[in-house]
Amino acid sequence: MTPVLKTLRSRIALLLIAANLPVILLAVWIGVRDFREADLVDRDRLVQAANLVAARAKGLAGENRLDEAARRAVFQDGDSRAMIAAAILDRDGEVLAEDSPASFGAAWLPPDGAPRETLASDSRIRKARGADGRPYRYALTPVPGSEAVAIAAAPFDFMGRRQTQWLLLALGIPALMSLLCVGLVLFGIERFVLKWLRALRVTAETSQGDRMDVRAVDFEKAPLEIARLGEALDGMSGRIEERSRALKTALDERDRLLRELHHRVKNNFQMIASLLALQRQEAPQSLSAVLRAPEDRVRAMAAAYKASYASGEIGHVEVGELIRDVALQARDAVGERRFEVKILTPGPVGEVDLDRAVPLSLLVMELLSAAAAAGGDATLSIVPRPGRRLALIIESQNQNWLPTTGLPLRLIRAYTEQIGSAVGEWDQGRVEFEVALASEEPKIGMARSQTEKR
């Protein structure tokens, strides 16, 4: 079904036409029946006129023209033959006598003699064009006792006939009434239904955006049913607005609490790291290196929480910012020794969930600490990979910097498992692993609103 036929206006129009169709068909049947009956009456009158003229011409018509007295005797009932002309023809088609000129003229006889073509629906009637070029119907009756024939004629103008005009009137009035009815109903539908439905649709489409305070238009002049529908939509819109505001307030409060929580967690980690640093400074040289590793790990976890609330979306951590912070911590951890970390990144590379950011920062810190302990600078490359993944590649000038045994190796393997990855290469001073980027929305807290993002 085409879209045009699916509209309310078109379907009601089709329904009204279907409802009026029986009336139109009945009018057509009555009109055609009356037309045929009236046409039969006209043909009968034409035949009767020819028969009457032939009967009166009996004994008067011969091969010569009739005198005036005989002509009057034959055509004495001319006034009763309205719109019918009559004459008497000899066997060659020559006029022996003719009635006084009819109202439609005197050139009604065919120019080539008596007509020969009969009407398909009535063999008594013949048709031809008169000398004036107009179509006529003819009835021919032989005159008893002679070779002459009586001929009666009537003009045949289909559109000008009274029967045709009544037929067209009988067909036109029901059709006109049906069209008028359809037009009035469609006007009423447009005025009292569709106009207000469009207003409701505009209201609904407007409320689909960020606005929650949209109200329906003034339905004071609308029909009662639609006015009540508008009031119901207003009430529903008001309740949605109240609930949306309450939900936004609750989410904002939860977001604030999570930010505060992450900030305090970061502060606690930094406090623990500071305590470890103080303890390391007071400890003997043999214990200082032992305390350095847990201090670096605590600072790595603090860096993850710092990047989380600093990114603007609680639960997400920007990878580039996290890596730079951890690299800075690793560089500062070596003390007086020189250790540089070169970070290669194509720009903003995306975010990871907080539950992956913590083990990722610990993993990077563990590897950079191992590179620093080996006495060479490091290069950390971030490479985007298909499937919303990032590859992190760490290289050092010293090819023997990667841990192969002990706690550092166990921690590296544990961290890679926690981020859902595995070490891809572990030779010639190079290590590579992948991490999955975060989903579209943070798993913890609330994403920034559209207004804040803009």
User: Of 65, 70, 139, 73, nearest to 95 (Cα)?
Assistant: 65
Would 398 be classed as within a structural domain?
yes
Q: Which residue has the tokens 């544990």?
A: 414
Tokens of 288: 């200082």
Would 448 be classed as within a structural domain?
yes
Taking CA atoms, 133 is separated from 108, 111, 118, 129, 265, in Å, by 8, 9, 18, 5, 113
The answer to whether residues 262 and 145 belong to one domain is: no
The answer to whether residues 153 and 268 belong to one domain is: no
The answer to whether residues 138 and 269 belong to one domain is: no
Residue 192: DSSP 8-state: I
The answer to whether residues 305 and 444 belong to one domain is: yes
- The domain boundary, picked from 114, 136, 165, lies at 165
Find the CATH number of the domain harbouring 391: 3.30.565.10
Would 159 be classed as within a structural domain?
yes
Q: Residue 263: give the domain boundaries.
A: 256-453
Would 213 be classed as within a structural domain?
no
CA-atom Rg of the chain in angstroms: 54
The answer to whether residues 160 and 288 belong to one domain is: no
Would 209 be classed as within a structural domain?
no
Q: How far is CA 66 from the centre of its chain?
A: 85
The reply to whether the predicted model has a pTM over 0.85 is: no
User: Of 313, 330, 214, 324, nearest to 258 (Cα)?
Assistant: 313
pLDDT means per 10 residues, the chain with 454 residues, are 66 77 79 80 88 83 72 74 83 82 83 85 89 90 87 78 68 78 80 77 66 62 75 77 85 81 81 81 73 80 78 75 87 74 86 88 88 84 90 84 83 88 71 83 44 38
Find the CATH number of the domain harbouring 97: 3.30.450
Taking CA atoms, 389 is separated from 130, 190, 194, 278, 439, in Å, by 99, 56, 52, 39, 11
Number of domains in the chain: 2
Write the CB contacts of 105 (distance below 8 Å, at least 6 apart in sequence).
Answer: 132
User: Of 350, 296, 301, 298, nearest to 321 (Cα)?
Assistant: 350
The answer to whether residues 260 and 151 belong to one domain is: no
The answer to whether residues 160 and 262 belong to one domain is: no
- Please tell me the number of Cα atoms within 13 Å of 350 on its side-chain side: 21
The answer to whether residues 47 and 152 belong to one domain is: yes
The answer to whether residues 285 and 407 belong to one domain is: yes
Would 214 be classed as within a structural domain?
no
Whether the CB-CB separation of 366 and 407 falls below 8 Å is answered with no
Residue 33 burial (CB count, 10 A)? 12
Would 231 be classed as within a structural domain?
no
The answer to whether residues 293 and 153 belong to one domain is: no
Label residue 216 left, alpha or beta by phi (over 0 means left) and psi (-120 to 50 means alpha): beta
Would 196 be classed as within a structural domain?
no
The answer to whether residues 153 and 300 belong to one domain is: no
The answer to whether residues 309 and 447 belong to one domain is: yes
- The domain boundary, picked from 141, 165, 189, lies at 165
The confidence score (pLDDT) of residue 445 equals 43
- The domain boundary, picked from 98, 132, 165, lies at 165
